[in-house]
Amino acid sequence: MLALVAGMSLGEVCAQSMGICSGGYRDSLGYSRPGNWANSHRGAISGTRLLQTEQWQAARSNILASAEDSVAAERTLSRHEGNVVKARAKYNKAHVKALNIKGQAVENLMDDFYTKDGWEKMDGKRGRNGFDGLYVKRNKNGTIVSWFAAEAKSGSSKLNSTKHGRQLSPEWVKHNNETLLSQAQKDYAANPTKRNARRLADLQQINKLQGRQPRLFHAEWTTKNGAPHMVISQQTATGKKVSRPMEVDMTKPSRNRQMCNKAIRGAVREYLPNSKGKAIDAFVDALNGGKITDDASFHRVFTDISRGKMPKATRQAKLGGRALNMVDTVLNPEEILLEQGQKVWKKFKAQPSLRPMAKMGTNMGKSVARRMRAVKTAGRKLGTAMAKRAGAVLGKGVLKRIGTCTATGAIGGPVGIAVGTAVGVIWTAWDVTSLGMDYWSMKKEAEAQRAKEDYERTTIIADIKKEDEIRRKSIAEHKEKISSLQEQKNQLLSNLNLVG
């Protein structure tokens, strides 16, 4: 009310407030929306921490200094700060999931890499700690004769220092083996099954043997000659290379590329179980298409996919295809029905017994086409009439409320035409749907009648076969009687001859 008394509408107040905020954000943050600025920061940074940065505080001070109504500006800033906190919470959740997927993908790749060389993987985890990989080899009797521990890292990740020494150090490996053995003894005491007994025996054997040198399995996404590559290398705990690094070109089909994609699919399936394959395919396409070239792009692509974002080109293609299908169905229904009728005619023409039904379907299709043309014409006439009427009514209403305004009155005609056209299109679509339902109901009735006739024909044939079988049995019985009588006749004749 105060703004109206001052000669300013509520819309102007909101517009000015939003314009000041957008300008202040753009000058201080480089983004017109604080949510976009929040999501531009990579890594797990909380929204509260972002709001405490000098960049946000400077933007806040500039907006409050340039705003005429400090109360309204403060209210708008508070709402925007809440949006920043929500945006970062969603981003951080997706970012952590991306890190987990990345680590799991490298572990899956490591498992495939070593198991193909004849190593058997054992469970070396104890919660979130333990070995990323514990691999053994057995003799013919099933006894472990060799083993080694491995850690999986990617990108810039390095071996960490723990309370029991640096990862892959002798102290760290010994502590993990002892912990795994102790846990296996507890599991067997609580549940003495064959599986627990086998695991206990394996871990006891591992603690007795001198294992091979631990290995660091490292995978990194990079580019070479503009093409995405995955570089796989093996190192010792001291950083010495065990073998020559293997470069996998993700744009060319190969067994190594297939192994990498399999590992990535397994990791995505584990951490995104409800994706139904879409997230998996999207990430693999991004990887093979060169969108993932380093650790930062890995996190960015996975964060966008896990948050449900679809690539712009894919989204536009899907929307364009749906729009074209809708336009063809609504504006050209007779062509679609004619095409379907021709397919049905070819199918029926191949079977002579169905030609009467095909003729009936052809007549029905012609009547439907005529009806559709009539509906289309009526819809256009109705749309034109409604457009004129709506344009006149809308123009009069606008003129009465606003006054003599030629520009506003000119809007009534196009708006009315658009409304009338939309109503006509909706009516046509509705009639097309009802006609389609009638067509399918008639088709179902014809199929049911045909099935009934086939059943009756089969029953009649079965009855004829039964009667024929009975007739054959009767003829056989009569033949046997005739042969019996013939034998009796011959016997009597021979007896008469003897008497004479």
Q: Express each pLDDT in 309-368 by its tens digit.
A: 555 544 454 455 555 455 445 445 555 555 666 666 565 555 555 556 556 666 666 676
Q: What is the dihedral of CA 467, 473, 479, 481, to 10 degrees?
A: -110
Residue 184: is its pLDDT beyond 60?
A: yes
Contact 432, 374 (CB under 8 A): no
User: 283: Cβ–Cβ under 8 A, 6 or more apart, which residues?
Assistant: 264, 268, 301, 302, 305
Name the residue with tokens 């943050």: 29
Which of 86-90, 391-395, 401-405, 470-474 bottoms out in mean pLDDT, i.e. has the lowest?
401-405
**This prediction's pTM:** 0.51
Q: Is 241 left (phi over 0), alpha (psi -120 to 50) or beta?
A: beta
Angle at the Cα of 468 (from 464 to 471), degrees rounded to 5? 140
- In angstroms, the CA 229 to CA 293 distance is 7
Sign of CA dihedral 262, 268, 269, 270: positive
Residue 373 has pLDDT above 90, yes or no: no
Q: How far apart are CA 443 and CA 232, in angstroms?
A: 61
Q: Which residues pair with 166 in a beta bridge?
A: 161
Single-letter amino acid, residue 480: E
C-alpha 475/C-alpha 174 separation (Å) is 96
Mean pLDDT score of the chain: 75
Give the position of tokens 């009936």.
Answer: 360
Contact 90, 46 (CB under 8 A): no
- How close are the terminal C-alpha atoms of the chain, in Å? 150
For residue 125, the cross-strand partners are: 130
- What's the token pair of residue 53? 């940065």
Range 481-496 average pLDDT:
84
46 has pLDDT over 50: yes
**Which pLDDT score, from 0 to 100, does residue 254 have?**
85
pLDDT band at 1 (very low <50, low <70, confident <90, very high): very low
Distance from C-alpha of 193 to C-alpha of 199, rounded to nearest angstrom: 10
Amino acid making up residue 10: L
